[in-house]
Every structure is written in C-alpha cells, then in structure tokens.
Structure 1
C-alpha cells in the first residue's frame, strides 16, 4: 500500500475517539495533556490545518498544523503502527506544507523528543534541520 491509498481530509467531530485512540497507540499522549482539550483548542483556531488520513474509511493518521503569522508548527503527527512505512506521514506533511505555503508561511518548526532518533531521521529526510535554539514552555491552563 502506498500513500496514494491515503485519503487526506480535515478533521470531523466524529473522528475524536478514533484519533485519541491513535495518539495513545502511537505514544503521543501525556498525563498532563488532555487530548480532548487539545482537540477542542485546535478546532477553535485554524481547524482546516487539523488533517486526518484515512484508508478505506478508517482513520490511520493525523497531523495538527498551525501558523502564528511568523512560523508554522507541526503537532500530533501520528500514523498507526500497522500503516507505517507506507509514506502516509510524508503525504500528510506535504499536504500541510502546501496549506501553510498558501498562507504565506516562511518556515515550519516542530519539536520532537531528543531520544526519538527514528522520527528525527524522518524529518531530516523531509529537509528539516536542527535549529540552534532551546525550547522553553510555561503552562497557563492545567489540563488535569
């Protein structure tokens, strides 16, 4: 199966349970982030950048993109383990890159865990490079 079998579309509210299950399956959820709240927040801002990939009507991939007027951002790129290594993640990245470029976005940033070498190599294969920055964060609204 190749990425041509992947139908990419915007998120529908009926996708929520399948997407949360996919994020759990891919190890993307954390105890301090409520995935339902993350979805609700995304739907309130640039919901057209919340992409879903389906094969035969089944959700197998997601990507949550964003653009703040300065940089594009990628979050929650996930492909079901049973559908990995079929170019689905690349297809989702290319789709969001096209959308961001249409919005005038000059650069995309993303964060990955430093221990995730396979994902680092995936992004390097798409032309991403490590920026010389330190990522800092501050929670304003606790999820739990």
Structure 2
C-alpha cells in the first residue's frame, strides 16, 4: 500500500509514512482501508482513512491512471463511507491540495464540498 500511494504526486504521502507507520495505522480499530485489484491481482486503487468519534477522514485515495474514470475511486469511497457509517460516523472530511483540480472535481462529484469560514491547522509531532 505504501509503494502504491507513493507512485502518485497528487497523494500527499509524507516521508515519515513508511511501512512500519502504515502497519501501526492499519491495526487500529478506527482505521478503514480498502484495495481494488485488477484481474491479474495488481493493486489499481486504494483508500485509507480513520474515524474520530462521529467524524471520519479519508487520508489517502489513489487510482492508477489506466483505471480512472471507471468508477474505481467512487467504489473505494463508497466502501470507506459504508464502513464508517456502520460504526456511527456522521460526517467525513478530507484534504485536497489547492492545485489538484482533478481531485477537487472528483470529491465534489462524491458529494463533498468545501467548508466556508474554516481553516485547518496542523503540525508534525
């Protein structure tokens, strides 16, 4: 999964998010993760997210270029959404780079919208 996400410039995968970090995230009860495979068993899409009380977040979503616009991303988002809804998540959020116009269009088509009057603050620990 780490290698898959690192293939895409539009996925903000930090240098400290290595395989060890990813394993630690994947074993948490609050993590949701799904993979999409082609007929040869190669990963063509992946989604990784987490749950924070009644909110859920999609941290990373990527689909191989050959499989884009075929519903793979939409099905991954639906799977993550169903998983979160099943445990009581009421709202999902995610981050999209300002320059990622295709990403903005994709997320808008999935029913996500930009909040008005909010700014996200973050820091590495």
TM-score of the pair, normalised by structure 2: 0.87
Larger helix proportion of the pair: 1
Alpha carbon RMSD of aligned pairs, Å? 1.8
Q: Which consecutive segments of 4 or more residues in structure 1 shift more than 6 A?
A: none
Larger RCO, structures 1/2 (Cα 8 Å, 6+ apart): 1
Gap runs ≥5 in structure 2: none
Gap runs ≥5 in structure 1: 1-18
Match of residue 7 from structure 1:
none
Match of residue 5 from structure 1:
none
Tell me the number of residue pairs that the alignment of Structure 1 and Structure 2 aligns. 122
Cα deviation, 1:20-78, whole Å, max 9, x if unaligned, reads 33212212255543332441231231376111111111111110021111311001101
Query: What is the DSSP-based 3-state SS (H/G/I as helix, E as strand, rest coil) of the residue aligned with 1:108?
Result: strand
Q: Matches of residues 41-60 of structure 1 in structure 2 within 5 Å?
A: 41-46=24-29, 49-56=32-39, 57-60=41-44
Q: Matches of residues 78-97 of structure 1 in structure 2 within 5 Å?
A: 78-97=62-81
TM-score of the pair, normalised by structure 1: 0.76
